[in-house]
Amino acid sequence: MDLLKEKIAQEGKVLSDTVLKVDSFLNHQIDPLLMREIGEEFANRFKDEVITKILTIESSGIAPATMLGLTIGAEVVFARKKKSLTLSGNLYTSQVYSFTKQETNEISVSKDFLSPDDNVLIIDDFLANGEAVKGLLDIAKQAGCKIVGVGIVIEKGFQNGGKVLREQGIRVESLAIIKSLKNNTIEFAE
C-alpha cells in the first residue's frame, strides 16, 4: 500500500535493527485519514470472504480494526491485556509474549463476543514473531470460530511470524512489509 509506505518512510524512526517507531500515525497519535484508507485496503483484500467479527488486541490494533469494521459493517472485538473489574469470569484467555515490552501478558476476551457462528478476521498493527496473532488465533479457536485470515498493517519480514503463520496455511495480508531496518534505514520488500 503505497500511501502507508510513504508515511512509514517519512515518519518512521528506526530504534534498532529490529524495532520501528511509528508513534506519529499508528502507535500514539493516530492519522484518521490514513487509518480510513487502511480499513478500506483490508476490506478490499478480503472482499471474497464473509467476515462477521474482527478480532484485535489493545491498544494499537483498535484503530485499523475499527476502520475496517466501519467499511464492511462488522463488529470489532479487542482482546484486553489487563483484567478489568468489569471483565470477570466467562473469559477466553491466552498467554502472549510481547516483543517490544519483553514480558508475558495474559490476554482475554469475553465469551459473550465470539461464537462458533463467527467468521473471524484478525487484525494487528505489527507482525514480528507472531506471538500476538498466535494468542488471538488461540482465543478464536477456543470459541470455535472459523478463521478467515490475518490482516497486518506493518509486517517485519525479517522476523519469522509471517512465515510461520503462512506455513500453517493461514492467509496473511500485510499492507507494508519491511525487509530490513539495518544501518538505520527502512527497506521495504517488493
Residues near ligand 5GP, by CB under 6 A: 19-22, 27, 60, 98-100, 124-132, 156, 161
CB of 61 vs ligand 5GP, minimal distance in Å? 7
129 annotated ligand binder: yes
CB 140 within 8 A of CB 109: no
189 annotated ligand binder: no
The Cα–Cα gap between 79 and 56 comes to: 6
Residue length, the chain? 190
Neighbours of 180 (CB within 10 A): 15
Identify which of residues 20 and 38 has a Cβ nearer to ligand 5GP in the complex.
20
173 annotated ligand binder: no
Residues in CB range of 113: below 8 A, 6 or more apart: 53, 75, 77
CB of 117 vs ligand 5GP, minimal distance in Å? 27
CB of 155 vs ligand 5GP, minimal distance in Å? 9
Identify which of residues 70 and 164 has a Cβ nearer to ligand 5GP in the complex.
164
CB of 125 vs ligand 5GP, minimal distance in Å? 5
CB 113 within 8 A of CB 78: no
CB of 118 vs ligand 5GP, minimal distance in Å? 22
The Cα–Cα gap between 189 and 20 comes to: 15
20 annotated ligand binder: yes
Identify which of residues 42 and 126 has a Cβ nearer to ligand 5GP in the complex.
126
Tell me, what DSSP letter sits at residue 84? -
Nearest Cα residue to 33 out of 23, 41, 43, 44: 41
15 annotated ligand binder: no
Identify which of residues 41 and 125 has a Cβ nearer to ligand 5GP in the complex.
125
Angle between helices 32-45 and 62-72 (to 10 degrees): 60
Identify which of residues 39 and 157 has a Cβ nearer to ligand 5GP in the complex.
157
6 annotated ligand binder: no
Nearest Cα residue to 63 out of 124, 10, 130, 148: 124
- As annotated, the binding site for xanthine includes 20, 27, 156
- As annotated, the binding site for 5-phospho-alpha-D-ribose 1-diphosphate includes 128-132
